Amino acid sequence: MSSLPPNLSTHWVIAALERFERPLVSFAHNLCGDWEQARDAVQDTFLRLSKSGRPPEDGDVEKLAPWLFTTCRHRIIDWQRKNKRLAPMDTLTLEALPETSAGPDSALEAKDTASHIRELIANLPSQQREVIKLKFETGLSYKEIAAATGVSTGTVGWLIHTAVQALRTSWMATQS
């Protein structure tokens, strides 16, 4: 158990929950394609964090990101193995686009563009798709992505670079 007073010993867990719950649920949903299973995995991840009783050394909850994403990813993989089925990753869930003053045509075009980008991302190989989502959806650093996925930082960079090139090529091919 932590040597911090009760109000401070739970403060870092609450701060981590506030910071990472939404990105983790989205990440988990992208892995399993099921919102309920995604929420269960995130809940289990935070229960494990709470039971660990060890706040980050300097109190910076951002440093928990690799552990949180890795643990959540492992929970999803464990459940998929247990159920003897691998669910395909769902397409990228994008935040609602802000309304523009240009009118409904622009909003519809932006929605179509976002949908097209999601389709292109869905066609990437699974490792590339995963690092793209971790980088651009959750905002993790290369180092945090490497820790969460179990590959080297250099491999993360290469996967992102290759994925972005493939997306650019696919995009340009559909725009001609």
Evaluate whether 121 touches 46 at the Cβ level (below 8 Å).
no
Q: Give the pLDDT of residue 41.
A: 92
Confidence of residue 155 (pLDDT cuts 50, 70, 90): very high
CATH code for residues 104-175: 1.10.10.10
Each domain of the chain, given as residue ranges in start order, spans 6-82, 104-175
Phi and psi angles of residue 104, each rounded to the nearest 5 degrees, phi first: -65, -30
Q: Describe the crossing of helices 104-122 and 126-136 by its angle, rounded to 10 degrees.
A: 140
- Extract the tokens encoding 17: 């929950």
Answer yes or no: are the C-beta atoms of 146 and 134 closer than 8 Å.
Answer: no
CA distance 63 to 61: 5
Tens digits of residue pLDDT in 66-102: 889 999 999 988 888 877 654 444 444 444 445 445 5
**In this structure, what token pair is assigned to residue 92?**
């990228």
Which residue is associated with the tokens 């919102």? 35
What does the pLDDT average to over 45-49?
A: 89
Residue with tokens 């910076």: 60
The 3-class SS string of the chain reads CCCCCHHHHHHHHHHHHHHHHHHHHHHHHHHHCCHHHHHHHHHHHHHHHHHHCCCCCCCCHHHHHHHHHHHHHHHHHHHHHHCCCCCCCCCCCCCCCCCCCCCHHHHHHHHHHHHHHHHHHHCCCHHHHHHHHHHHCCCCCHHHHHHHHCCCHHHHHHHHHHHHHHHHHHHHHHHC
Residue-wise pLDDT for 12-34, tens only, equals 888 888 999 999 999 999 888 88
Helices 142-149 and 153-175: angle between axes, nearest 10 degrees: 100
Say what the pLDDT of residue 121 is: 86
Q: What is the pLDDT of residue 77?
A: 86
